[in-house]
Structure 1
C-alpha cells in the first residue's frame, strides 16, 4: 500500500467518524425537550465531530502534498470557544429560570468559603435537615 492510499483511507474514516458524531449531535438537539438538555448534545458531540471532519481535511491536504494549517487554527478556536459559550447559555437559562434550578446548598456557612468551623460547632446539621 502506498502512502496516498493509506491517507485516503484515513480521510474516509475520519469523515465517517466526524459525520457520525455530528449526526448524533443533531439528533440530540432535535430530540431533547428543554434548552439545558439541548445544550449538552451539540457542545460535546458536535465539537468532537467537527474536530474529526477538520482532521479529515488536514489528512486530505497532506495526501495532496499541500500542508494546510487553517483547519488546526479552526479546531483550536472551536475547542476554546465552545465550552465558554455553552457555559454562558447555561447561566442565562438558570438566571431566567427557564429550566429547573439546581438544589439549594446546605445550611452550612463553610461549604464554599474559607470560614473554618468552630471546634464545638456541628456543620453537618444543616445538610441533614435539608
Structure 2
C-alpha cells in the first residue's frame, strides 16, 4: 500500500508543480489585468491543493496533516478574495480594457 500511495503522491506533486508553473507563466505572459488575475488564481489554487494532497500522502503524520489542512483552508479562503480585490482595484483605476468586457455589471447595461 505504501508504494501505491508514494506513486500517487509523486503524481500529485508533479501535477501541482506543473499547474503552479503554468500560473506563473500566465501571470508573466497575459496582456491585461483580468487575464493575469485569472492565471494567478485558478491554476495556482488547484496547483497548491494538488501539492498539498501529494504532501499529505507522503508525510501521513497527524500533526502534519493538520497543518496541511489549515494551509489548504487558508488558500481556498484568501485566493478568491485577493482576486476580487485585484479586479476591483483594476476597474476603479481604469487599468483594464473595457472593450474586452462582455457585460459591465458595475457600470450598468451598455447603451444600445
Q: TM-score range by the shorter chain?
A: 0.7 to 0.9
2:95 corresponding residue in structure 1: 98
2:42 corresponding residue in structure 1: 44
Equivalent of 1:28, from 26, 29, 35?
A: 26
Query: Aligned-pair distance for 1:33?
Result: 1.5
Relative to total residues, which structure has the larger helix share, 1 or 2? 2
Equivalent of 2:82, from 85, 88, 93?
A: 85
Q: Which runs of 4+ in 1 moved over 2 A?
A: 101-107
Equivalent position SS for 2:76: helix
1:16-66 deviations in Å (ceiling 9; x for gaps): 11011111111111111122211110200000001100111111112xxx2
Matches of 1:6 and 1:33 in 2, distance apart?
42
Matches of 1:96 and 1:23 in 2, distance apart?
29
- Which segment drifts farther, 87-96 or 30-39? 30-39
- If asked which structure has higher relative contact order (CA below 8 Å, sep 6+), I would say 2
Equivalent of 1:15, from 9, 13, 24?
A: 13
TM-score (norm 2): 0.84
Unaligned runs of 5+ in 2: none
TM-score (norm 1): 0.73
Matches of 1:37 and 1:75 in 2, distance apart?
24
